[in-house]
């Protein structure tokens, strides 16, 4: 019985349960990424991209102005506090999100002013994964 329990625990620890990171608009690049010491969104995305998969980024309420398209092409969940207060403003300069991994999830965010000049989505381009409870405003595709 003891060997069976150890095997079950080992299986769960290797089954894709990832780390949790907290990000905020005031978080630093060298912060711990905890709820009490959130990191920047850029640092959280870099940490999860280098992880084993299954990581979760909890994004605090606030307005984020990414300098590039955010690509969720690995197993990660990016989850805002709620779609009314966690806002990604792309300033009409770039496509918003690309979600292209079966285990990638984008949840509870508002995406505004995203623009793409190809035919693949303005606010979010989904080829795989999940986009849930998101609000899109003033996003466009200009071909």
Q: Per the structure block, which two tokens stand in for 108?
A: 């509870």
**What is the pLDDT, as a whole number, of residue 52?**
81
Per-residue pLDDT of the chain (143 residues; tens, 9 = 90+): 544 444 434 444 444 579 999 999 999 999 999 999 999 999 999 999 988 899 999 999 999 999 999 999 999 999 999 999 999 999 987 899 999 999 999 999 999 999 998 878 889 999 999 999 999 999 998 87
Q: How far is CA 70 from CA 17, 85, 95, in A?
A: 22, 19, 8
pTM: 0.85
**β strands within the chain, DSSP E:** 20-28, 39, 55-59, 62-64, 70-72, 76-80, 86-89, 97-99, 105-107, 110-112, 115-116, 124-126, 130-132, 135-137, 140-141
Q: Do the Cβ atoms of 25 and 45 come closer than 8 Å? A: no
């Amino acid at each position: 019985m003891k060997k069976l329990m150890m095997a079950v625990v080992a299986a769960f620890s290797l089954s894709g349960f990832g780390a949790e990171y907290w990000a905020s608009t005031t978080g630093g690049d060298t912060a711990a990424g905890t709820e009490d010491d959130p990191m920047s969104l850029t640092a959280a995305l870099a940490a999860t991209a280098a992880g084993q998969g299954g990581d979760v980024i909890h994004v605090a309420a606030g307005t984020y102005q990414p300098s590039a398209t955010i690509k969720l092409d690995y197993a990660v969940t990016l989850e805002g506090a709620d779609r009314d207060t966690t806002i990604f403003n792309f300033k009409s300069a770039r496509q918003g999100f690309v979600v292209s991994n079966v285990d990638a999830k984008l949840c509870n965010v508002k995406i505004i002013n995203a623009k793409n000049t190809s035919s693949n989505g303005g606010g979010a381009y989904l080829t795989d994964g999940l986009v849930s409870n998101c609000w899109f405003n003033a996003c466009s595709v200009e071909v």
